Amino acid sequence: MDYISTRGSDGPLSYEKALLNGLARDGGLYLPTSWPKFTKSEIADMKHLSYAELAGRIMAPFTDGILSEAELTEMAADAYCEFTHKDVAPLTSLSDDNLHILELFSGPTIAFKDYAMQFLSRAFDKALTKAGKRAVILGATSGDTGSAALEAFKGREAVDVFILFPEGRVSPVQQKQMTSVMADGAHAIAVKGDFDDCQALVKSAFNDGTFRDEVGLSAVNSINWARLMPQIVYYFASALRVGAPDKSVAFSVPTGNFGNVFAGWVAKQMGLPIEKFIVASNRNDILTRFFESGEMRRDGVTPSLSPSMDIQVSSNFERLLFEMLDRDGAKTAQLMADFATTGLFDVAPSVMDKMKSEFSAYRLDDDGTLAEISYMKSTYNMVIDPHSAVGFYGARMARADKLVGDDTPIIALACAHPAKFPDAVEKATGTYPDLPAHLSDLMGREERFDVLENDLGDIQSYLKTKRRR
């Protein structure tokens, strides 16, 4: 399997090159040259597999010629061995509404990013050892990616990790998870700006070819294709539990950077029968506005109760756009250039029709988020975090609006433990959620981080100074 850029002028290249490059040299995002397909009978045969075995089966086509299914299974088993639930990604059915919650917070940092990041750290180890290289990982986070990356990569001799987060715009628990990592080579950096500023700094650093080569820059944000691969797995795992492949399913995904929902779209390309994707946004609703109007228009970011979704530049949307434009890299590059310059692009009605056939979108403001958390507690005796509340609301509305039939299971992704956002949960339910045992002392841990200006030169100088040689 080879990889190409969404902007048409980088590739084809191998899985390992795409992994270590992170962002394509032309500024685009890597995708495989074709989508592997499983037959209905092959998907049915996956029902007996463990989660690690399923991960190996699903990801093997993407690493063909580099890593075998057996190697991937072993890596996944190691990555998920300390997750706190035996099912790794447990699914809870809610009464008789044919609504289901996929709980993606049994990993070490109690957020869905652990599923990708724990695997990714092992993938980097293998690739760097084989190449005899070191890497400097630079990432931006709106909250959960940073803690998952620092936890997964801490103490690894061949990697230094630098994570940019928006100063004052992550939850106290999210910040403490990042800034309390004291391992050599682990660096949390508060940037004076919002998440989109942090993400822009990362992309600018990658687009500086001289700097990129000098420090051996690589990425763990979802701009890195290998970050999305492990996320495809839990779409298969959950769909199989509710009747796939004999029954089609729908997924509601709380979405900011579009990576998680795009991983689900890939699962559909691989043969999983998915009827609809529900894109659920908070008050920063650029994606919902796009699916309503066909116009992608960037506005300012307003802080919300679901800070991991406080985004106005959804990087992974470029991958879907490339696919919907029939993999025309030149057209994709032009639209992305327009968006970078003007904060706006639109697509032809025919392209929009294709997108709307697969995606629907909802938004939920902070008051609605609190109401949804309260509704879940009173109706199902389940406590969820603000992001998961946005996703569950999207599932309920899609059912109420008849976008998804009553016979089709809707799986809403619960992407973080409620204790990551205790103030919002307490306000909605009257109960302050406790952190899991392994994090019970988190808020008392020592912090270590630096505050930098929203300036590329400052970031680059910091990396050069702090990286290990």
* Residues with active-site annotation: 113
Question: Could you tell me where the DSSP H helices lie in 51-112?
Answer: 51-59, 69-80
Residue among 284, 326, 286, 323 at smallest CA distance from 306: 284
Structure tokens at 50: 């463990």
Structure tokens at 78: 């190691």
DSSP state of 361: E
Residue among 468, 469, 390 at smallest CA distance from 428: 390
351: exposed, middle or buried (Cβ count in 10 Å: 0-12, 13-18, 19+): middle
Pairing of strands 13-14, 2-5: antiparallel
Assess contact for 308 and 387: CB atoms under 8 A: yes
Question: Could you tell me where the DSSP H helices lie in 65-143?
Answer: 69-80, 113-131
Residues 412, 392: Cα–Cα separation, whole Å: 5
Structure tokens at 45: 């045969």
Pairing of strands 186-191, 450-452: parallel
Residue 136 φ/ψ, nearest 5 degrees? -110, 115
Residue 302 φ/ψ, nearest 5 degrees? -110, 125
Residues 27, 204: Cα–Cα separation, whole Å: 9
Q: How far apart are the first and last CA of the chain?
A: 33
Residues 86, 237: Cα–Cα separation, whole Å: 13
Assess contact for 316 and 262: CB atoms under 8 A: yes
